[in-house]
Structure 1
Amino acid sequence: MSDGRDRRLEQPRVSRRVRLPRLDSESFGVFAERFARFMGTATFLVYMTGFVLLWVALNLIGLFGLRWDPYPFILLNLFFSTQASYAAPLILLAQNRQADRDRVQIEADRNRAEAAKADTEFLAREIAALRIALGEVATRDFLRAELHRSREPVEEEDERRDAGSRGGARESR
C-alpha cells in the first residue's frame, strides 16, 4: 500500500513551489522599446502636459465637488514617481537591447570588412602576378618590330635575286 509518499529515485521530484507564468523576454523587450520610443516623442509630452493641467485644474476648481487631490497634489506626485520608477528600467532595457543589436551589427560589419580586405589583397596579388606574367609575354609592338627586322633580310635577299635575275636577262640579250 502506497500513500503517495514513496519516492522513486529514477523519477524527478515534483516541485511543490508555486510557478509564476514565464514572460517571453523578446515580446517584453519589444514592449519596452516601443514604450521608450513613445516616451521620447512630442506626442507623449503633449499628452502628459494635458493630463497634468487637467488634473491641477479639476483639483483646484473642484468641478462637481471633485477634489480628490488637494493643493500639494500628493497623489499626482505618487503617479509621477510610479511612472518614473517603471519608465527608467524600461528605457534601460530598450537601451540594452539596442546596444546588443549594435554589437551584433558591428561584428557583422567587421566580418564583412575582413572579407573585403582579404578579397582585395587576393585581387592585388593576382594583378601583381598578371603584371609579372605580362612582362614575359611579347607585346604587339615587340612582335611588329621583330617581324620588321626579320623582313629586312628577306627583302634584301629578294632584291638581290631580282637584281641578279635582271642582270642575267641582260647578258642573254
Structure 2
Amino acid sequence: MPELLSRRRLDQPRRQGRFRVSIDPEAFGRLSERLARFLGTGKFLFWQTLLVVVWITLNLAAASLRWDPYPFILLNLAFSTQAAYAAPLILLAQNRQDNRDRVSLEEDRARAARTKEDTEFLARELAALRLAVGEVATRDYLRSELDRLRTDLLDVRKPRKSRPAAESVRDDHRWADATSAGE
C-alpha cells in the first residue's frame, strides 16, 4: 500500500487552516468578573469622582480647553456608555458566581449525604457491638469465676485431719487423673 504524502490520519478531520487562533472561552467571563469587582470598589469611585470634577472644572474655567460646554453632553454620553457596559458585565459576573455557588452547594449536599450514611452505618455497627459485648463474658465475670474455682480447688486439695497423709496423696492423684480425663 502506498504511503500518504501528507502524513495526515484519515480517521481524523482535516484542520480548518494553517493559522489557528485558540480562544479561551472563559477568558471573557474572567475579565468581566475582574471589571465588576473593580467597579464595586472605593478606588473606582474615587478616580471616577476625580475625573468628573476635573472634567467640569476644565470645561467651566479654562476658556481654551472647552471641548464639552455647560450641559456636558459628552460627559453624559460617557456615563451612559459606562452604564451600558457595566450592567451586563456585572450580571455576567453574578451568573458565573451563581454557577459556582450551585456546584459548591451540590458538592456540599453530596458530602452531607455521605456523612449521614457513614454516621448511620457507624451507629448500626456500634449497636451491634453493644449487643455482642452483652453476650461476651466480661473481665470481672471471668475473674470472679476463676476466684471461685481457685477456692474450690483449695478446698479439695486441703488434707483432712482424720485421713492419713498417704490417703491424701492418693486422693490428689485421683483428682489430677479425673481433671485430665475431663479435658
**Would you say same fold, with TM above 0.5?**
yes
1:83-107 CA-partner distances (Å, limit 9, x unpaired): 0011000000000000100000000
State TM-score, norm by structure 1: 0.78
> 1:168: Cα distance to partner?
7.7
1:29-54 CA-partner distances (Å, limit 9, x unpaired): 10110000000111101110111011
**1:127 counterpart = 2:126:** yes
> 1:160: Cα distance to partner?
4.3
Partners of 1:137 and 1:52 in 2: CA distance: 86
- Structure in which a larger fraction of residues adopt helix: 1
Q: What's 1:42 paired with?
A: 42
1:62-85 CA-partner distances (Å, limit 9, x unpaired): 25x111111111110111011001
State TM-score, norm by structure 2: 0.74
Q: What's 1:52 paired with?
A: 52
Equivalences for residues 63-82 of structure 1 within 5 A: 65-82=64-81
Identity of counterpart residues, as a percentage?
59
Q: What's 1:4 paired with?
A: none
Higher RCO (CA 8 Å, separation ≥ 6 residues): 1
Q: Where do 5+ consecutive residues of structure 2 fail to align?
A: 1-20, 169-183
Number of residue pairs aligned between Structure 1 and Structure 2: 148
Equivalences for residues 87-126 of structure 1 within 5 A: 87-126=86-125
Shift of the 117–127 alpha-carbon distance from structure 1 to 2, 3 Å rule, reads: same
Q: What's 2:13 paired with?
A: none
Aligned CA-pair RMSD = 2.4
> 1:23: Cα distance to partner?
6.7
Q: Secondary structure at the match of 2:71?
A: coil
Q: Which moved more, 1:116-125 or 1:33-42?
A: 116-125
Partners of 2:77 and 2:122 in 1: CA distance: 67
Q: Secondary structure at the match of 2:150?
A: helix
Q: What's 1:145 paired with?
A: 144
Partners of 1:120 and 1:162 in 2: CA distance: 67
Shift of the 79–161 alpha-carbon distance from structure 1 to 2, 3 Å rule, reads: same
